[in-house]
Amino acid sequence: MRARRALLYVPGDDMHKIQKATTLGVDCICLDLEDGVAYNRKAAARTTIAQALGTLDFGPAEKLVRINPVGSGLEVADLKEVLPGRPDGIVIPKVKTADQVHWVGDQLTAFEHQMNWSPGVIGLILLIETALGLLNLTEIAGAESRLHALIFGSEDLAGEIGAQRTPAGWEIFHARSLVLLHAAAREIQAVDMVFIDFHDLDALKAEAVQGAQLGFSGKQIIHPNQVEVVQSAFTPTNEVIEQARQLIAAYEDHQSAGQGAFALDGKMIDAPLIKSARNVLARAQAAGKL
């Protein structure tokens, strides 16, 4: 599993921001061709992204490119110009049907074949941010084996369903949970919604901690200020890691002694808690803490 604690969007037509993104220690850098780029800057953004992929050192960060939606008329040129730079993955926005995902998957397969790259070397990550996309999640989330994560897009969805965004977020909570459930069912990661007030780090922290508690692997971000707060919220603390280790050790001892459920520190422990402890260790390992 690779850490995707923070996924930073960077407008694809802004080389200064792209360069800056490579210095931030952020897990995922998503070079944007979609809504962060004005319509009359799409061509410039494709060229800038191709140049950035070809010349900049992204270090261990995952190099992603968000193309325009399938059906927008821009997606063919987007893929054609950015794929030669061999990004780690393509992010498809506003996914509505599994066929759209298959279409991009087929383009990637053909390009990998043409370049003699290993099949599946370019991953896919999907933005679930439309009502139809949510309703079709059963097919969408299992559409391609190169799928690594689902991202929940709260702002597009709120716009579409006519919801007014509130700090508590109940208007999008059901959809947020659905994305998480479908990702878990397919054993892929789920990346939580963006927090747009990039000056309010306290509120960002609260929302990031809540996302981590719900089960998300990470969160979308839009500004360098947000990297540290979000990545720490999605990194298990030393205390939590130690508890998980103790729990697993105690569980294994009790299993050998023929006991499935037992008491530890006054609480009942059995298999579901061990699943959760193993999840903590997997996330700690992905974050480089083990």
Residue 93 Cβ vs ligand COA, minimum distance, rounded to whole Å:
9
Instruction: Give residue for tokens 């270090």.
Output: 59
- Asked whether 231 and 6 are in contact (CB, 8 A), the reply is yes
Please choose which of ligand COA, Mg ion, none residue 81 contacts, taking the beta carbon within 5 to 8 angstroms, the exact cut-off set by kind. Answer: none
**Which token pair is 13?**
């037509």
CA distance 256 to 263: 15
Q: Which stretch binds ligand COA (CB under 6 A): 16-24, 102-110, 121-129, 136-144?
A: 16-24
Would you count residue 16 as binding ligand COA (CB under 6 A)? Answer: yes
Residues of this chain, 32-61, that bind ligand COA according to CB under 6 A: 32, 35-36
Among 11, 93, 123, 236, binds ligand COA (CB under 6 A): 11
112 φ, ψ (degrees, to nearest 5):
-60, -40
Instruction: Give residue for tokens 């509120």.
Output: 203
Q: Which stretch binds ligand COA (CB under 6 A): 28-36, 40-48, 52-60, 262-270?
A: 28-36
Q: Which amino acid is at 182?
A: H
Would you count residue 10 as binding ligand COA (CB under 6 A)? Answer: yes
Among 15, 178, 222, 274, binds ligand COA (CB under 6 A): 222
Set 99, 106, 197, 270: catalytic member:
270
Would you count residue 63 as binding ligand COA (CB under 6 A)? Answer: no
3-state secondary structure 245-265: HHHHHHHHHHHHCCCCCEEEC
Query: How would you classify residue 94: left for phi > 0, otherwise alpha for psi between -120 and 50, otherwise beta?
Result: left
**Which token pair is 262?**
């037992």
Residue 153 Cβ vs ligand COA, minimum distance, rounded to whole Å:
8
- Chain residues that interact with Mg ion, rule: CB under 5 A: 129, 153, 156
CA distance 131 to 147: 20
Q: Is 270 a catalytic residue?
A: yes
**What is the contact surface with ligand COA in residues (CB under 6 A)?**
8-11, 16-17, 20-21, 32, 35-36, 194, 222-224
Q: Known catalytic residues? A: 270
